[in-house]
Amino acid sequence: MKAHLGEDQRDVLQELMNISMGQAANELAKLIETKITLSIPHIVSVTPEEFARIFESTDVNWFTRQSFLGGLHGEVITLLSKDGADAIASLMDYDLPLDESATEELMLELANILAGACLKGFTEQLGLKANLSMPTSYFPTAEKTDQFRWDSALLMEVEFNVEQSEFRSNVLICLEEHSVQSLIERLNSLLE
């Protein structure tokens, strides 16, 4: 990656991510009336090969992806655990057992809530706008590493855990190379 985050920039970015991911957790917690805990944001530069390794968990996760454009360009990838899906579906008033159609609807609804709140909170704090597309199901086993849109990416990840359930979700905000430079410029202005 040509653009490199310094320690101060990474600290500011981590704090911005904490705030935006907290907003996303609150959105979901209000909907399901259950406490949600968050991990500390993990921020790392990745190559396409490293990025592809994230998707080796297709037996335990469903995946969605949403692109965004505006002041920043990239994708939000949401990993949703298969464990605990019935519990979260019940909290969201879905009829059980979930059939294939209801499972996909639940997955897309959860991804939209989490990814939408995460990206909105993140870009607003930076004074940027980003338009997020609707989520689509994503089947990474059908993808090849060279089909990803970047040679390298800044990956920002937070894990959401729903109490009283085994359900968890990881939201990954992936920024394209040219957006990383825009992000660094915004972080620098916050550090001044």
pLDDT digits (tens, 9 = 90+) for 37-51: 999 888 888 777 777
Per-residue DSSP letter, 165: S
Of 15 and 176, more confident: 15
Predicted TM-score (pTM) of the model is 0.87
Both tokens of 56, joined, read 């080796």
Of 52 and 114, more confident: 114
22, 89, 53, 159: CA torsion to nearest 10: 20
Of 137 and 141, more confident: 137
According to the model, what pLDDT value does residue 143 have? 53
pLDDT of 142 above 80: no
Residue-averaged pLDDT of the chain: 86
Which domains does the chain show, CATH number per domain? 7-191 (3.40.1550.10)
Q: Which runs of E-coded beta strand occur in 71-150?
A: 74-81, 130-132, 136-138
According to the model, what pLDDT value does residue 2 have? 47
Of 23 and 2, more confident: 23
Sequence-ordered list of residues with C-beta below 8 angstroms from that of 14, at least 6 positions apart, any chain = 40, 41, 43
Looking at the DSSP assignment, which residues form a beta bridge with residue 155?
44, 174
